[in-house]
Amino acid sequence: MTSAPPLAGLRVLELARILAGPWIGQLLADLGADVVKVEAPEGDDTRKWGPPFVEGTGDEHLSAAYFHSANRGKRSITADFRTEEGQALVHRLAAHADVVIENFKVGGLVKYGLDAASMRKAYPRLIYCSVTGFGQDGPYAPRAGYDFLVQGMGGPMSVTGEPQGAPMKAGYAVADIYTGLYATTGILAALRRRDTTGEGAVLDMALLDAQVAVLGNQAMNYLTSGKAPQRLGNAHPNIVPYDVFPVADGHIIIATGNDGQWRKLCEVVGDAGFASEPDYIDNRSRIANRVALTARLNALTSRFAKLDLLAKLEAVGVPAGPINTIEEVFADPQVEARGVRVDLKNPAAKAGSTPTVASPIVLDGIRQVASRPSPRLGEHADEILNDPAWGGPHNG
């Protein structure tokens, strides 16, 4: 007997678009929440952020792949917040929601009566989550927030890239996605507190806050030493060797975490004495002599074929791995075995399904992923308006 999803019965009203806000709604939908996405009449901007697009059975596509990356499991209805009818619809739905998610600029919803203060006054049990670039206060609060800008302002670009190269952003929207993850955690905490107090909450989630928070050890290195970390390419600031190394047919990652692994690595690459030399005998020494060590180790690893060296390192327990393309990721036997890719049945799609990347949460052996594909614009308007759980006509 399969148990109900952990968030079954939770009602979420999503007034968000682009990525950070929708990422929250998607994760809650994966965990079983009923997420109603309220879109402007023209739809979420990312519906048009293609190609590529998911092909439909007819001449029209089913929105850009970008949109589908953050909107599975939801139902869609449209409303124009600028009109009294649109505002009334949102209030009708909010009256039955547990959570509202929005990512408008600070103060952007006040004139419509859809801001946190107005909604919480009307619905005291509501968990209201606002996502902005810089938060609800501070000198930057009025600014619009974009992931790329926040990656620059929040520090990661200063430690990403080659030492002599330009600062480099991550190849995906880390500020948006991390903010979505932190916000989801905050929502679940607020819901847990509401179970005890009966009171809702307002969450003030900022991309910049989240980006700074995930600096992790790099932030602590600075706060402890007073020295700002610098770009090291693929190298690690606190462990050596922990880097990309050349092989005869490409590159691999070697990530030694202790002196024992370092000694085994030297044995595998044919220079066992390397590990015991005073300049390299422990991690502190290896960090001090990083440049010379890396050059010498590069010469040793470059004599091996990729698969041969990876097999030898795995056999002795030295952490190492390939640098996969996205295509290779989804062909990887471990990724396949774990069921990370899921094809959601979708009669409107030309292929009969929409591919998606499932949530990484596996609960009691069940991977948490919504069964519903991303919605077409306004697809569920009648269904939602007639749903008793959302104040439909049969709601007593």
Known catalytic residues are: 176
User: Residue 255's CB: how many other CB atoms inside 10 A?
Assistant: 14
Nearest CA to 297 among 281, 275, 324?
275
> For residues 102 and 84, what is the distance between their CA atoms, to the nearest angstrom?
19
Asked if 300 and 270 touch (Cβ cutoff 8 Å), the reply is yes
Nearest CA to 21 among 95, 105, 110, 136?
105
For strands 99-102 and 53-55, give the pairing.
unpaired
> For residues 358 and 69, what is the distance between their CA atoms, to the nearest angstrom?
10
Asked if 154 and 211 touch (Cβ cutoff 8 Å), the reply is yes
Give the Å distances, CA to CA, from 348 to 56, 91, 126, 183, 357: 6, 31, 35, 32, 19
